[in-house]
Amino acid sequence: MEVARGHKMGYDKLEQVLRWCCELGVHGVTVYAFSIENFKRSQSEVDALMALAEEGLREMSDETHLVQRRGVRVRVVGDLSRVSASLYGEMQRVMRMTQGNTRHTLTVCFSYTSRNEIAASIRRLGKACADGRLLPSDINAALLERCLLTTAPGLPPVDLIGGDAGGSRATTALSKPLAVCEGKLATANVKTVDMTEDMEKVAIELASFAMNEFTKEVEMAAHIKKEFDKMYSPTWHVVVGTNFGSHVVHQTKNFVYFNIGAINFLVYKSG
């Protein structure tokens, strides 16, 4: 069998498995699609894999695709600086178009290895210590887990790994994060809420993502506001900090106040 054809059959099977998971109520699926080590393969095979990935992501953006019909949010994680501009554009497009989907989450590990992910997470924690936002004594397994790219807000850590017959690459790739991250996924403590459950879930997911992606609280707030304005129409107000008081008048069904660890988040529309 041609290598490219075999990869295409694998992609088709992935879509079938995703459909099964949606039907069975499995809300989180993580796919190990392309290892950093795969760049060492022949150029023709790498090019075929990249083209297949670009085509697959483009299909996911179509409103008739399973991802859209089933309300699947797509996340692509890994060292994406290594992929082509066109492929990166498709990755960003499908993530943007599915960011409002809340029923299921598909995490695609692309240009990824567990060693690279753990190293990047440790560097991020080290920088937080150097900036004075963390103390070395604050670092534990649960905090490291929250920094992992494969951690999806609202979903448990990966706890079941499947692979092709006789293969061990998926197990090898994901075993280290599973072993290192023994703590539970950090969850939000919702203090006051006046919005739909779906909106509340999106707010928490955006906050968790912002904590992983940004170093400054103002950047976290700006990201959450931008996404809420886009998804639920302007104008939203977002306050992020470790210690602040507030007294606001808000629109009905447009308010949530919660914390993740030591950081508090207030998201609301003015009344």
Do residues 65 and 158 share a domain?
Answer: yes
Domain count, the chain: 2
Do residues 134 and 197 share a domain?
Answer: no
- 224 pLDDT band, cuts 50/70/90, is very high
Do residues 88 and 219 share a domain?
Answer: no
The pLDDT, as a whole number, for residue 155 is: 67
In this prediction, residues 196-213 reach a mean pLDDT of: 84
Do residues 21 and 135 share a domain?
Answer: yes
* 180, 203, 228 - which closes a domain: 180
Do residues 204 and 85 share a domain?
Answer: no
Phi and psi dihedrals of 65, rounded to 5? -70, 155
- 125 pLDDT band, cuts 50/70/90, is confident
Do residues 145 and 163 share a domain?
Answer: yes
Torsion of CA 195, 197, 203, 204, to 10 degrees: 130
In this prediction, residues 145-151 reach a mean pLDDT of: 77
The pLDDT, as a whole number, for residue 176 is: 43
CATH number at residue 76: 3.40.1180.10
**Eight-class DSSP state of 268:** E
* 138, 163, 180 - which closes a domain: 180
* 120, 151, 180 - which closes a domain: 180
Do residues 135 and 200 share a domain?
Answer: no
User: Does pLDDT of 3 surpass 80?
Assistant: no
pLDDT per residue as tens digits for the range 166-185: 444 444 455 444 433 333 33
- 238 pLDDT band, cuts 50/70/90, is very high
The domain containing residue 76 runs over which residues? 3-180
pLDDT per residue as tens digits for the range 49-100: 899 999 989 988 888 888 888 899 999 998 899 999 999 999 999 999 998 8
CATH number at residue 228: 3.30.740.10
Closest CA to 12 of 73, 56, 74: 56
Do residues 171 and 41 share a domain?
Answer: yes
Closest CA to 261 of 240, 246, 238: 240
**Eight-class DSSP state of 100:** T
Tell me how far CA of residue 28 lies from CA of 59, 102, 214, in angstroms. Answer: 20, 11, 24
